[in-house]
Amino acid sequence: MRIPACGTGFSFISNHAANHFAIATFMFLTLGKWLGRTSYFLFLWAFLVGYAQIYVGVHYPGDVLAGSIMGIAIAAFMASLYSKQPRFGIFDSANLI
């Protein structure tokens, strides 16, 4: 029995890397004070996802690097827009312990 492939071929950029680094960056920039040091594990998780894409042979290292950079850039832009929005009381710095 043949296992079907996930994708149709190589692609530039790695969307897995872009998505996971975007999630990690956005959460780090918006919830970093609330999450504390555990927010750094988000980047480890994103790195491991990118490494796995190289390891299984579906992306070249440049694909993953470009996806990581793009994900970080988009998330940083979106986090800057998010920071300009009104906040809920639960995320105010006065309510953080």
Q: Residue 93 domain-assigned?
A: no
pLDDT, tens only, 8-40 = 556 788 999 999 999 999 999 988 888 888 889
pLDDT, tens only, 45-94 = 999 999 999 999 888 999 999 999 999 999 999 998 887 766 655 555 55
45 versus 1: which is more confidently predicted? 45
Q: Residue 7 domain-assigned?
A: no
pTM for the model stands at: 0.77
Q: Say how many domains are in the chain.
A: 1
Q: Residue 2 domain-assigned?
A: no
Cα–Cα distance between 87 and 29 in angstroms, integer?
Answer: 14
> Which range marks the domain in which residue 74 is found?
15-82
Q: Residue 1 domain-assigned?
A: no
- How far is Cα of residue 19 from the mean position of the Cα atoms in its chain? 5
Q: Residue 6 domain-assigned?
A: no
CA distances from 11 to 15, 47, 65, 74 (A): 9, 18, 13, 19
Q: Residue 8 domain-assigned?
A: no
Cα–Cα distance between 59 and 14 in angstroms, integer?
Answer: 7
Q: Residue 90 domain-assigned?
A: no
Which residue, among 18, 25, 14, 27, has the nearest Cα to 70 in the 3D structure? Answer: 18
Q: Residue 67 domain-assigned?
A: yes
